[in-house]
Structure 1
Amino acid sequence: MSTKKFNSTNTLNELYLDERCTLNKVLRIIGKRWVSEVLVLIKEDVSRFSYLKECLTGISDNVLSNVLNELIKSELVKKEIFNDVPLRVEYKITESGLALVNVMHDLCSWGKKHIPYEVRIKPTFKKKTI
């Protein structure tokens, strides 16, 4: 994972905004791609990496691993390692993670009422004839 330049304008702006309001920190965590999906899946039950990967079509192993590490670092998810053969790792949502998921559901409900949703039509591909 790359490291940020501490004195870059972007980093300084993030620090400034984080000092002003905790909401900015929260939005930076949950605003990342796949975070909300992973949290909601783990909320349902204790999850293993392979289960999460199977449920999240299109996510790479690397991205899923990074998202899980970020959620563990933020103490929204707990990782438990079992010394079984083969090694077994399970992810479980924490109380603060569960509270955040509930808030995210409230935000989703608000969005459904106040933000128009555009249905995007998937492009259709015609078969080439030879």
Structure 2
Amino acid sequence: MAERKTSSTNYINQSFLETKCALNEVIYLLSKRWITEVLFSIEEGNNRFSSIKDDLEYISDHILADRLRLLEEYKLISKNHIAEIPPRIEYALTPTGIELSNLLDQLCKFGENEMGLHSD
């Protein structure tokens, strides 16, 4: 879980909600800007930092690095160090990440088809 100021009311409220249902923690993670787009970009085959950055042209390096760290922390992606010169890192969805991505795809379709929302 990401670091939060433990004395804040927001932290106390979020902690309470997370004890009520794990969905609240999932929603908290997914509500972070760019998190789902990074997940989808990796699913689409962008497995290197630079290719994800190219795919999501407006994301900053700092935010991309943070979102990759969070996705790895929650075991939604794996990070593979390739011993080459120069060294290379590749990212891939874990089975849990694939399952979440499928659920998110269903939610996208629900939003489009049942709620009349649009997705580009």
User: Counterparts of 1:1-130 in structure 2 under 5 Å?
Assistant: 3-45=3-45, 47-117=47-117
CA distance in 2, matches of 1:48, 1:111: 30
Cα deviation for residue 37 of structure 1 reads 1.0
CA distance in 1, matches of 2:19, 2:52: 34
**SS in structure 2 of the partner of residue 78 of structure 1:** strand
Does the aligned pair in 1 maintain the 2:78–2:91 contact within 8 Å?
yes
Q: Quick check: 1:46–1:93 contact (8 Å CA) kept in 2?
A: no
1:50-92 C-alpha deviation (Å, 9 max, x unpaired): 1000110101110100000000000000001122111100000
Which amino acid in structure 1 is aligned with residue 93 of structure 2? I
Which residue type is aligned with residue 105 of structure 1?
A: D
TM norm structure 2 = 0.90
Unaligned runs of 5+ in 2: none
Question: Structure 1 vs Structure 2: percent identity of aligned residues?
Answer: 36
Structure 1 residue identity aligned to 2:49:
F
Task: Give the superposed CA RMSD.
Answer: 1.9
Alpha-carbon deviation of 1:46?
Answer: 5.8
Q: Within 1, Cα distance between the matches of 2:102 and 2:117?
A: 21
CA distance in 1, matches of 2:39, 2:5: 29
Q: Which amino acid aligns with 1:108?
A: C
Paired residue secondary structure (2:26): helix
**Displacement of 1:114:** 3.3
Distance (whole Å) between structure 1 residues aligned to residue 52 and residue 95 of structure 2: 20
Describe the SS at the equivalent of 1:92: strand
Paired AA for residue 68 in structure 1: L
Task: With the length of structure 1 as denominator, give the TM-score of the two structures.
Answer: 0.84
Could you say which structure has the larger radius of gyration?
1
